[in-house]
Structure 1
Amino acid sequence: MQPPIAPFRQVVLKVASRCDLACDHCYVYEHADTSWRERPMVMSDETAVQVADRIAEHAAAHRIQTTHVVFHGGEPLLAGIERLRRFSRTLRGAVEGVCDLDLRIHTNGVLLSRAYCDMFADEGVKVGISIDGDRLANDRHRLYANGHSSYEQVVRAITLLRDHYRHLYAGLLCTIDVRNDPIAVYEALVALHPPRVDFLLPHATWDHPPLRPGGQETAYADWLIAVHDRWRADGRPVPVRMFDSIILTASGGDSQTESLGLRPSDLVVIETDGSYEQADSLKTAYDGAPATGLDVFRHSLSEAALHPGFAARQGGLDSLAEECRRCPVVASCGGGLYAHRYRSGNGFDNPSVYCADLFRLISHLVEYERQSTPVPVHRLPTATLDALASGNASADDVAQLRAPQLSRARLAARRAATVVADQESWSILLNAERTDRAAVDDLLSHPYVHAWATRCATAGPARLTAADAGHLAAVAAVAAVRTGLAVKLTVPIVGNFLHLPGLGRMRTGGRDRAEVEAHDGSFAVRADGPWLSQDSPLWEPVRTLDATGPGLLLDDVDPYRDCYGTPVEDRLTGEAAAALGEVVGAALASLTADKRAAVRAGLRVLTPLPSGAAGAWSRTAYGAVALPLGADPATTARLLIEHFHRAQLGGLLDLLDLAAGDANLELLLSDAYGLLSVAELLGDEEIARLRTAISRITGGARSAVGRRFAAGLAEAAARLPLPAGSRQR
């Protein structure tokens, strides 16, 4: 029986097999493997066509939603503009209708020009550049063969991207040399305003260990810790993939780099002659280490995936050395980069040659994260807890839940950005936050932005859809609009609409992506035809329910409003929206002034459900309630109050351990709390059921705060009239 295949989602495509620099730390030309000498200097068109067909075949067979392809080398720009253009079009043509294609190029930058950038803009190719820091750090290794510096040419290339082709700027890659000043390197990189920085440990093995000046056992950890602590003190001005991966894996997420974490490798290298190889880093182990003996002309990618070399990197924890499996930081470390484990005699069955460094670095970051607490500690006053338990919370009591929910929303957005790995959009969000923190807070706490972020953070990269991943760009575009930044972003089209959360949607037609340009607080969208502004009849904005008072939104367009586990209505006509507003306004008016104020303090968004639905709320969309169309004001009032209170309890459960982790007790709490909020409308049977539920809650509460809350519920229930049957007895 054939073993299961772990499909390839990342392809490193070697379009050129020579380089115009002579970096002495290069793993391709300066380490053990010499196979490059026998390969074509550039990939042929015939090979590129076969590669494209193999990628499309593989994506179709394994239902891959997005394939990530990186043009690499050597120096890939040596392939030339027209060849790279042809390769880009060949790849996109082959996968059209099969999967999305994330196409990038990684270059040393010295040949990058406007002509290259114009072509990359036309073909949708993002550009990453290698630079090792300031001039002193960069010139320690990254020199021409004649010994001349490459620094000015590289900075010129980065400046060109940053200032004129920002939407192509994918980030910077820096190989660490512990002899360089870590802070000087960090400051030089941040000054170039990259959308992301990748720090790489220099390739080494147990046979050829890394440089350790003065015999320092954790020199690389110490260097990275200095950078990390400065980065955190600066407010994380740019995403750093190594740090973000450690933080994410420590909290149960997936790593964003093959050098850390336990996620199986999904990367294959295809050389200029079409041969399949394992990760390039293996070239540092021994001559021929990455070779598979397979190629695109004779073998499919699925056949390549069965090669023992790839299979050895699919086993997660079980594939690690025994010492690694016992290590407390293994979930974040994952044994380090596979190549760094090599020792002649027993191959890769070893911890990383950077084991001590990784242990110290990960431990430091985890402890730093614990002490700094990503979600600020929020303490609820006892009087507020008691008021919430009684069902008589004031507007001020309800407002106490807003700050912790904002903290949760911000953390979910950060984790989503790490999973999505769209560093350009995340950088725009950070810039917007520096411009107007309140505006970005308001955006991130929108119920359906929070629902999207939670979905991404929970799903992880393997289960992420292209629409989920692309939505970060939509969030960033709205942040730019709200803060007045000037940006241009590519945003996905879902169901013929481009969605801008909290603002509305633009009907765009059948393409899969559109451009959004934000400037001076306004925006324009372009898909196939001309630029469309928010004055276009194709723009469908989020509306305000005017009859309910100021600020209550009717959101019937957001794609993430489907978080209730029940179907939602699509955009209402103007007449239907006005009718819903009148009904909800009348429902609110029927409440006491205190209840009405409490609802308005915690409710931000209403979403319509089909007629006859029961109403709904969602734990991931705090501040929103879904209500059915066609209900009268009295029914609407009951559903509004009941589900609003269930949502408030959800917010309370996010803050306090009322149920001690007991999911059944949480459900009982939600049902009882919702019914208690409309107790005056309940019949005898419902009151009896409510009392029974509260009795079970009181008996099951284990935490001190849970017992206090249960006692408050019981006291409130005791004030209710007895059912008629009980009174007769």
Structure 2
Amino acid sequence: MERIPLPFTQFVVKMHSRCDLACDHCYVYEHADTSWRARPKVIGDEVLAGAAGRVGEHAATHRLTAVRVVLHGGEPLLAGPDRLRRAAAAFRSALPPGCALDLRIHTNGVLLDRTFCELFDEVGIKVGISLDGDRAANDRHRRYADGRSSHPQVLRAVGLLREPEFRHLFAGLLCTIDVENDPVVVYRALAELEPPAVDFLLPHATWEQPPKRPAGGGETPYAEWLLNVYGRWEADGRPFAVRTFDSVHRTLRGLSSLTESLGLEPADVVVLETDGSYEQADSLKTSFDGAPATGMDVFTHDLDQVARHPGMAQRQAGLAGLSAECRSCPVVRACGGGLYAHRYRADADGGSFDHPSVYCGDLMALIKGIAGPGGPDPAPRVPAQAAEPVLVPALTDRQLGELARGHGGADTVAALARSQLALTRAMLAAVWDSSGLRDSAAWDLLSALDATAPAALDAVLGHPYVRAWAARRLAGDPAAGLAPLAELAAAAAVRAGRDVTLAVPVRGGALHLPTLGRLVATDGEARVTGGADGFTVRTADGDVVTVTGQDTAGGRWQPVRRIRFADGWTVALEDTDPQRDSHHWPVEGRLADPELHSWTGALREAWELVGRDLPDYAAGVRAGLSTITPLRAGPAGRDVSAAARQAFGAVGIARPATAPILGLLLAHEFQHVKLGAVLDLVDLYDPSDTALYHAPWRPDPRPIEGLLQGTYAHLAVTEFWGTRTLAYDGLPGETADHTRAQFALWRRYTAEAVERLAGSGSLTALGLRFADGMRESVRPWLETELPAVAERTAEEARRQAAPEGLVTPG
């Protein structure tokens, strides 16, 4: 059976196949592969148009929310400004609506001048510069063919990018390691240039052409070199991002890597050469002549065909694609076997990549050195984070600004939803790839529906608890079996009206069809047949049950009930899906009709109040909240609600006594939902921060993400009480007094938490922007005048052991 290919999200486009330097460590010209000799020097307009079209087609097919295109070479600046302008226009115009383009160029910098910088500013191209350190270090390898130094020209190029008008174009520096260079001197030379990021790259090598290991340098000289840099970088307060170090920190904690050379994330990059041919990663050129070739080109093959190439599949196989020695290694989830090209070794069959990296010892020493003697052991992979995109998110600057203030309109939340659907699809593919199965009617049907009825499949995969199950499965939860694969396929086929029959397990006394409902049946294997008007189930004991329209099949069919509001919005009241137990609190069972009616009335009233009192939040809730899961009531007098990190689009709530509080719980929990989706796209804080921080509304200290989540959610709480306080302005009464006291309490709590976050020292640049946005949202509420009695009541609440308010996991 052919798998659904994992989509590519990064595309390296060779603009020019020659270079104006003669670096002796270059993997393009100085290693085994010689294919560059037969290729056109410059990419032609026909090839460029074909490449852009294929990328746009791929993005539309897989509903990608962002792609990264890197203009490369050789030396791409040799292609000239006009061709680079045409490339930018071609790729930007080819992408479908809602897919953001992260456009970059990697250059040696010697030709970079103001004309190029002005062009890159105009068309939105970020610039990465290759530089190996100070002049002595750089000139060891990066020289002109006649032996002249390139260092002065590169410094001039970096100087241009540091000018205020071009600073935003500066993507960072790429430094290839030479262990004969002094690591601290190299680090200092690069740090003085104030780059936003530095990539320290291991020189490409294989077991047949091993890396330089100077006499007396020890068994792991590359690890020692990098650890020297790491120590200085840490001592300086991490002044810029370093992908290698950041990736080790992340993978040690079960998060995703930021580089293909570490971690187990599937490779998602393809190379497009100047003649239109597709190649695998450039690093494979160091292995053997022709190693990167696929035999495919942009004129006759789409990118899904390339993704199915055996070499690509091997690079996307994760743990299963590593050698037996690697799979048994204690740091494999952090190391990931190292860069694929570095595993090549000649053997009896002529050569293979089924070996540890030639840098195996160095990677082990580096990872253990960064973890430290008291550091964390390599952690199991966290599936939700492991699949997170590492590209610039599919959010505009305006949308990021909205989210930073705690809000987010319909288009902003819709963009988050698209990114979450892409993540769910990737996780589903990972579930299949790790299943060990080779034949599956369910997977065949999912694959077919993906091609012929994608809207029906997306409707099912967009169900919040699909990702919740996939996350459990990938984390090794023994209770998370593979039965949901068949349930998902059957549900999608029913939605598509397909006349197909599929065997589906019945478990816990019910046949489950996500987004549709459940059929009470005897455990075993049922056969579900779809059709234009409904579906039929033949159960294990021979019963045949047909469900059409609103039919409940004598009470055996329990459909998902949906509540429709006056403005046309519809939300599912989910009480059938077994995966819905993903929240912090126990879930309710199937709601009886009287309770369903109570929920319906309460939600309709609550939604009207949200639209009136929280208009800046309502549009986003409407665009992204698809599912409300009833929870069991909490302790007497306490309101219970929750949002599951792995279930975008769902909130769990125990129905409170009043509609206003129900509206508040909806807005509060959807804040967690939004922020979780943002954190799948970008880092707002340093994931290596293990400190605990006090949240004013909790007695127990919280990790940095917990404080961030709670603060973000309480922006909505503050605005809720603030808006209602304005409505009660000047009015007496117990309700008005309670409202004003709650407002005084929560605005103070939220403002304090914002400042604690901002002063933590762990927020990234974007995280600081979020702190500024949250501060901006709270500021006008802090300026609202309140009676002294309200402030006194709030102060009294602060002195109590636990504040009066919401009981939530955040």
Answering whether residue 710 of structure 2 is matched by residue 622 of structure 1, we say yes
**What is the alpha-carbon distance in structure 2 between the residues aligned to residue 189 and residue 465 of structure 1?**
24
How far did residue 573 of structure 1 move?
9.6
How far did residue 366 of structure 1 move?
1.1
**What is the alpha-carbon distance in structure 1 between the residues aligned to residue 117 and residue 262 of structure 2?**
32
**What is the alpha-carbon distance in structure 1 between the residues aligned to residue 749 and residue 410 of structure 2?**
35
Provide closer, same or farther for how the CA distance between residues 68 and 633 of structure 1 changes in structure 2, counting only shifts above 3 A: same
Q: Kindly report which structure 2 residues correspond to 1:59-98, keeping only aligned pairs within 5 A, or say none.
A: 59-97=59-97
Contact 2:265 2:386 in 1 (8 A): no
Contact 1:615 1:639 in 2 (8 A): no
User: Quick one: which of 723, 736, 756 aligns to 1:633?
Assistant: 736
How far did residue 493 of structure 1 move?
2.3
Answering whether residue 28 of structure 2 is matched by residue 28 of structure 1, we say yes
- Gaps of at least 5 residues in structure 1 are 373-456, 471-490, 513-562, 575-608, 652-711, 714-729
Other-structure match for 1:358: 363
Contact 1:169 1:194 in 2 (8 A): yes
1:545-568 per-residue CA deviation (whole Å, 9 max, x = no partner) reads xxxxxxxxxxxxxxxxxx999979
**What is the alpha-carbon distance in structure 2 between the residues aligned to residue 571 and residue 360 of structure 1?**
59
How far did residue 615 of structure 1 move?
3.9
Q: CA RMSD in A?
A: 3.8
Letter in 2 for 1:621: Q
Provide closer, same or farther for how the CA distance between residues 462 and 505 of structure 1 changes in structure 2, counting only shifts above 3 A: closer
Other-structure match for 2:190: 189
Contact 2:252 2:334 in 1 (8 A): yes
1:652-698 per-residue CA deviation (whole Å, 9 max, x = no partner) reads xxxxxxxxxxxxxxxxxxxxxxxxxxxxxxxxxxxxxxxxxxxxxxx
Contact 2:102 2:391 in 1 (8 A): no
**What is the alpha-carbon distance in structure 2 between the residues aligned to residue 641 and residue 108 of structure 1?**
57
Letter in 2 for 1:633: A
How far did residue 644 of structure 1 move?
11
The share of aligned pairs that are identical, in percent, is: 53
**What is the alpha-carbon distance in structure 2 between the residues aligned to residue 188 and residue 571 of structure 1?**
57
User: Quick one: which of 662, 665, 675 aligns to 1:613?
Assistant: 662
Letter in 1 for 2:122: D
**What is the alpha-carbon distance in structure 2 between the residues aligned to residue 643 and residue 498 of structure 1?**
23
How far did residue 4 of structure 1 move?
1.6
1:176-210 per-residue CA deviation (whole Å, 9 max, x = no partner) reads 00000000000000001100000000000001100
Q: Kindly report which structure 2 residues correspond to 1:197-276, keeping only aligned pairs within 5 A, or say none.
A: 197-214=198-215, 216-276=218-278
**What is the alpha-carbon distance in structure 1 between the residues aligned to residue 200 and residue 209 of structure 2?**
20
**What is the alpha-carbon distance in structure 2 between the residues aligned to residue 365 and residue 301 of structure 1?**
38
Contact 2:174 2:199 in 1 (8 A): yes
How far did residue 85 of structure 1 move?
0.3
**What is the alpha-carbon distance in structure 1 between the residues aligned to residue 256 and residue 85 of structure 2?**
34
Provide closer, same or farther for how the CA distance between residues 120 and 464 of structure 1 changes in structure 2, counting only shifts above 3 A: same
SS at match of 1:214: coil
Letter in 1 for 2:13: L
**What is the alpha-carbon distance in structure 2 between the residues aligned to residue 171 and residue 458 of structure 1?**
29
1:446-474 per-residue CA deviation (whole Å, 9 max, x = no partner) reads xxxxxxxxxxx99548445989675xxxx
Provide closer, same or farther for how the CA distance between residues 113 and 610 of structure 1 changes in structure 2, counting only shifts above 3 A: farther
Letter in 1 for 2:182: D
Other-structure match for 1:284: 286
**What is the alpha-carbon distance in structure 2 between the residues aligned to residue 371 and residue 64 of structure 1?**
34
Letter in 1 for 2:212: L
Contact 1:246 1:255 in 2 (8 A): yes
1:581-627 per-residue CA deviation (whole Å, 9 max, x = no partner) reads xxxxxxxxxxxxxxxxxxxxxxxxxxxx9846364466653352624
- Gaps of at least 5 residues in structure 2 are 416-582, 586-602, 616-657, 670-705, 729-734, 755-800, 803-810
1:303-353 per-residue CA deviation (whole Å, 9 max, x = no partner) reads 110000100011111110111111111111000000000001141000000
Other-structure match for 2:9: 9
Letter in 1 for 2:24: D
Other-structure match for 1:169: 170
Contact 2:66 2:392 in 1 (8 A): no
Q: Kindly report which structure 2 residues correspond to 1:682-697, keeping only aligned pairs within 5 A, or say none.
A: none
**What is the alpha-carbon distance in structure 1 between the residues aligned to residue 373 and residue 20 of structure 2?**
42
Letter in 2 for 1:348: F
Contact 2:106 2:129 in 1 (8 A): yes
**What is the alpha-carbon distance in structure 2 between the residues aligned to residue 160 and residue 644 of structure 1?**
45
1:191-230 per-residue CA deviation (whole Å, 9 max, x = no partner) reads 0110000000000000110000016210000000000001
TM-score after normalising by structure 2:
0.52
Provide closer, same or farther for how the CA distance between residues 367 and 217 of structure 1 changes in structure 2, counting only shifts above 3 A: same
Comparing 182-191 with 2-11, which one deviates more in the overlay?
2-11
How far did residue 636 of structure 1 move?
3.6
Contact 2:131 2:173 in 1 (8 A): yes
Number of residue pairs the alignment of both structures matches: 461
Letter in 2 for 1:499: E
Contact 1:27 1:281 in 2 (8 A): yes
How far did residue 370 of structure 1 move?
2.6
**What is the alpha-carbon distance in structure 2 between the residues aligned to residue 302 and residue 13 of structure 1?**
17
Letter in 2 for 1:235: G
**What is the alpha-carbon distance in structure 2 between the residues aligned to residue 354 and residue 16 of structure 1?**
31
**What is the alpha-carbon distance in structure 1 between the residues aligned to residue 294 and residue 241 of structure 2?**
35
Contact 1:65 1:466 in 2 (8 A): no
Other-structure match for 2:50: 50
Provide closer, same or farther for how the CA distance between residues 146 and 3 of structure 1 changes in structure 2, counting only shifts above 3 A: same
Other-structure match for 1:379: none
Provide closer, same or farther for how the CA distance between residues 100 and 368 of structure 1 changes in structure 2, counting only shifts above 3 A: farther
**What is the alpha-carbon distance in structure 1 between the residues aligned to residue 315 and residue 407 of structure 2?**
44
Contact 1:56 1:98 in 2 (8 A): no
How far did residue 83 of structure 1 move?
0.6
How far did residue 367 of structure 1 move?
1.6
**What is the alpha-carbon distance in structure 1 between the residues aligned to residue 361 and residue 747 of structure 2?**
52
Letter in 2 for 1:155: L
Q: Kindly report which structure 2 residues correspond to 1:399-548, keeping only aligned pairs within 5 A, or say none.
A: 460=385, 462-463=387-388, 492-494=397-399, 498-499=401-402, 501=404
**What is the alpha-carbon distance in structure 2 between the residues aligned to residue 19 and residue 462 of structure 1?**
36
Contact 1:493 1:508 in 2 (8 A): no
**What is the alpha-carbon distance in structure 1 between the residues aligned to residue 4 and residue 614 of structure 2?**
50
**What is the alpha-carbon distance in structure 1 between the residues aligned to residue 612 and residue 258 of structure 2?**
37
SS at match of 2:17: coil
Contact 2:28 2:285 in 1 (8 A): yes
**What is the alpha-carbon distance in structure 1 between the residues aligned to residue 101 and residue 371 of structure 2?**
35
Other-structure match for 1:160: 160
Provide closer, same or farther for how the CA distance between residues 62 and 228 of structure 1 changes in structure 2, counting only shifts above 3 A: same
Provide closer, same or farther for how the CA distance between residues 258 and 571 of structure 1 changes in structure 2, counting only shifts above 3 A: farther
SS at match of 1:370: coil
**What is the alpha-carbon distance in structure 2 between the residues aligned to residue 261 and residue 362 of structure 1?**
11
Contact 1:276 1:296 in 2 (8 A): yes
**What is the alpha-carbon distance in structure 2 between the residues aligned to residue 39 and residue 610 of structure 1?**
69
Answering whether residue 353 of structure 2 is matched by residue 348 of structure 1, we say yes
Contact 1:247 1:369 in 2 (8 A): no
Provide closer, same or farther for how the CA distance between residues 141 and 610 of structure 1 changes in structure 2, counting only shifts above 3 A: farther
SS at match of 1:30: coil
Q: Kindly report which structure 2 residues correspond to 1:588-599, keeping only aligned pairs within 5 A, or say none.
A: none
How far did residue 506 of structure 1 move?
12
Provide closer, same or farther for how the CA distance between residues 571 and 9 of structure 1 changes in structure 2, counting only shifts above 3 A: farther
Provide closer, same or farther for how the CA distance between residues 143 and 354 of structure 1 changes in structure 2, counting only shifts above 3 A: same
Contact 2:284 2:341 in 1 (8 A): yes
